[in-house]
Amino acid sequence: MPELPEVEVTRLSFADRIAGARIESARLGKPLRWPLGCEPEQLRGRTVRAVRRRGKYLLLDLDQGLLLLHLGMSGSLVFADRLPAPGPHDHFDLVTSRGTLRLNDPRRFGAAVFAGGEDDPTALKLLGRLGVEPLSGDFDAGAFHQGLQRLKAPVKQVLLAGELVVGVGNIYASEALFHAGIRPTLAASRISRPRAAKLHRAVQEVLAQAVRQGGSTLRDFSNAHGEAGLFQLDAMVYGRAGQPCRVCATVVRTIRQGQRATYFCPQCQKS
Ligand SMILES: [Zn+2]
């Protein structure tokens, strides 16, 4: 599943090239998670001003309104001058004067949604309840600790829920907790201020590092299909059950938390 770093790297892969492009047409394939919310013809003639990211949404700012894109479980975006005819999993094409942006999404949990503006009910429904951006200055260690104090759920699930901080998905939650030395099952409310500060820093570092790693492959990103595996090369615990911890050689363990696999080192993350 594309996580925040993959979405950010996808954004970096085409944001500069599409800025200023005029939309010539839009094409829909099979239904996605949510409807487009306008007739495709209504997008014609509008200009793409910029591409921003909010959580795992990409926001294409148009001269009128905005287009929200989400990659869902299996989506990827490609932006290129010339693309082959749409295949069975290509469900949204935005043809512009600078190239075509195409959403390929076999499982169709992704979406392309038009909204009149960020205050429009359609946009508010999708973006309104998102937590703080982890890679922005708004993500504050003190406020993060206070937020943790209020919640009795296991810290891993608190991170995934996205209310305190947005976009920390399954891979990076496990990784950040490892770097902070915190057991994923620990109740969020039991995390001390210094440990919360450590976790705050770890969340930022693992995400920033993943964006850098993905960004370093941008050279080969002309057909921007994000390969999730690319970002897991340096995983300390994620996906490493049964293998020795890279720090202490204790066997990495996996458990299920809310249907999701969690990985941790029982020695480095004692409590
Ligand atoms: Zn260890």
Q: What is the pLDDT of residue 218?
A: 46
Give distance in angstroms: CA of 156 to centre of ligand 1: 18
3-state helix, strand, coil in the chain (%, to 5): 30, 25, 45
**What percent of the chain shows pLDDT beyond 90?**
82
| Nearest partner of 32 among 79, 68, 82, judged by Cα | 68
pLDDT digits (tens, 9 = 90+) for 145-201: 999 999 999 999 999 998 899 989 899 999 999 999 999 999 999 999 999 999 999
Q: Is position 3 annotated as part of the catalytic site?
A: yes
**What percent of the chain shows pLDDT beyond 70?**
93
pLDDT digits (tens, 9 = 90+) for 37-64: 999 999 999 999 999 999 999 999 999 9
Amino acid letter, residue 194: P
Name the token pair of 154: 């296991």
Give distance in angstroms: CA of 237 to centre of ligand 1: 9
| Nearest partner of 198 among 222, 213, 177, judged by Cα | 177
Q: Taking residues 132-147, what's their average pLDDT? A: 96
Q: Is position 2 annotated as part of the catalytic site?
A: yes
Give distance in angstroms: CA of 211 to centre of ligand 1: 25
pLDDT digits (tens, 9 = 90+) for 52-102: 999 999 999 999 999 999 999 889 999 999 899 999 999 999 999 999 999
Handedness of CA 100, 101, 105, 111 (dihedral sign): negative
Q: What is the pLDDT of residue 66?
A: 96
Of residues 2, 5, 134, 154, which has the active-site annotation?
2
Of residues 3, 6, 8, 175, which has the active-site annotation?
3
Q: Are 221 and 148 in contact (CB under 8 A)?
A: no
pLDDT band for position 222 (cuts 50, 70, 90): very low
Stated as kind and residue range, the H or E segment containing 174 is helix 170-180
Of residues 11, 56, 102, 195, which has the active-site annotation?
56
28 forms beta bridges with 92
